[in-house]
Amino acid sequence: MRIALIASPFISVPPTRYGGTELFIAQLAEGLKTLGLDVVVYANGESRVSTEVRALYDRDQWPIEGELYANLKTVAPEERHVIASAYDDPEFYKDKARVLPEDKRNSPMLWTRSWGQGRVFVTALGHDVKALQNPGFRTTIVRGAEWAATAAVAVLSGSN
């Protein structure tokens, strides 16, 4: 049996700087391989798992530097589908703002939601020129807009 595991093309599997989804995918890929299954991981070229890796980007495109929005309350959690979040260190806010415990220290960075009969893609990233020049960020914007407009996203091959 052949199994495909799809990770973010922006962060290596396993990741070099944190745990999260990419660490889970790395451990899952290795475990499935030990069971004798044929596994391919879709990630980036810096990924280091002992299975086949197919890469959209040659190297990590993250992190994109940007601002976090502590206590984001503009959209109720049940009305949004979070695609990516960032750890929001409460130490940063000492004497500046109060991070509420119910936020669990994760700030949504990319999410979708319905609006009437339409679709909305939202990103909290992209506040400076450096972020806008990042190929991974630009791809995210294009694919988010494509999904919002068509409800589908074309499968890409190779580096763009």
Cβ-in-10-Å burial (0-12, 13-18, 19+) of 62 comes to buried
Residue 51 lies in a domain: yes
- Structural domains counted in the chain: 2
pLDDT at position 91, please? 65
Residue 68 lies in a domain: no
pLDDT at position 159, please? 45
- Which tens digits make up the pLDDT trace of 17-62? 665 778 888 999 999 999 999 999 998 899 999 999 998 778 876 6
Domain that holds residue 26: 2-57
Residue 9 lies in a domain: yes
Task: Say whether both 103 and 139 belong to one domain.
Answer: yes
Is the CB of residue 9 less than 8 Å from the CB of residue 55?
yes
pLDDT surpasses 50 at 160: no
Q: Give the 3-state secondary structure of residue 26.
A: helix
- Which tens digits make up the pLDDT trace of 105-140? 677 888 898 888 888 888 877 776 777 778 888 888
Task: Say whether both 35 and 84 belong to one domain.
Answer: no
- Name the more confident of 52 and 102: 52
> pTM of the predicted model, to two decimals?
0.51
